[in-house]
């Protein structure tokens, strides 16, 4: 099975498909004024798709003491290909203070390996998170980062 064969290599493989790399770390250095600023949030996640098309899952990020839950309700689209699991737009929600929710868009970018690009936008349509995931059985597993 693909997800087992790529168990250790899939993050590098996936990241190589999209131009750029996800930043990892707790602090980013600013050499011009020698001050440090907090790094953007990097998150590991999984989603399972329910029969209704909705998603449920969990996520984890450095600094969290436990996993968080996220759910996403599919936004119906008659032009969407029903044979491509996970692909579509969703109303996504998770618990954080002052959260208004967001729109999650999942697009398949590499059909042969079932690799997807994930983009979360706020109510102003500004991209707030972006990531990549790979289907493994009935789950979409990956990581995303704050922009």
Q: What is the pLDDT of residues 57-68, one digit of tens each?
A: 999 988 888 898
Structure confidence at residue 82 (pLDDT): 79
pTM over 0.75: no
In the 3-class helix/strand/coil scheme, how is 2-68 assigned residue by residue? HHHHCCCCHHHHHHHHCCCCCCCCCEEEECCCCEEEECCCEEEEEEEECCCCCEEEEEEECCCCCCE
User: How confident is the model at residue 37, as a pLDDT?
Assistant: 56
Q: Are 35 and 41 in contact (CB under 8 A)?
A: no
For the stretch 102-119, pLDDT in tens is 899 999 998 888 999 999
User: What is the C-alpha separation between 125 and 62, in angstroms, rounded?
Assistant: 26
């Amino acid at each position: 099975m693909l997800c087992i064969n790529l168990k250790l290599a899939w993050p590098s493989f996936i990241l190589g498909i999209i131009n750029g790399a996800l930043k990892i770390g707790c602090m980013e250095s600013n050499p011009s004024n020698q001050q440090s600023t907090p790094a953007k949030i990097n998150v590991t996640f999984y989603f399972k798709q329910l029969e209704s098309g909705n998603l449920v899952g969990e996520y984890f990020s450095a600094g969290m003491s436990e996993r968080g839950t996220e759910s996403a309700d599919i936004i119906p689209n008659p032009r969407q290909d029903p044979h491509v699991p996970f692909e579509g737009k969703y109303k996504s929600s998770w618990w954080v203070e002052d959260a208004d929710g967001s729109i999650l868009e999942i697009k398949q970018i590499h059909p042969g390996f079932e690799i997807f690009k994930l983009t979360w936008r706020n109510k102003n349509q500004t991209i707030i998170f972006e990531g990549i995931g790979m289907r493994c059985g009935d789950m979409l597993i990956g990581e995303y980062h704050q922009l």
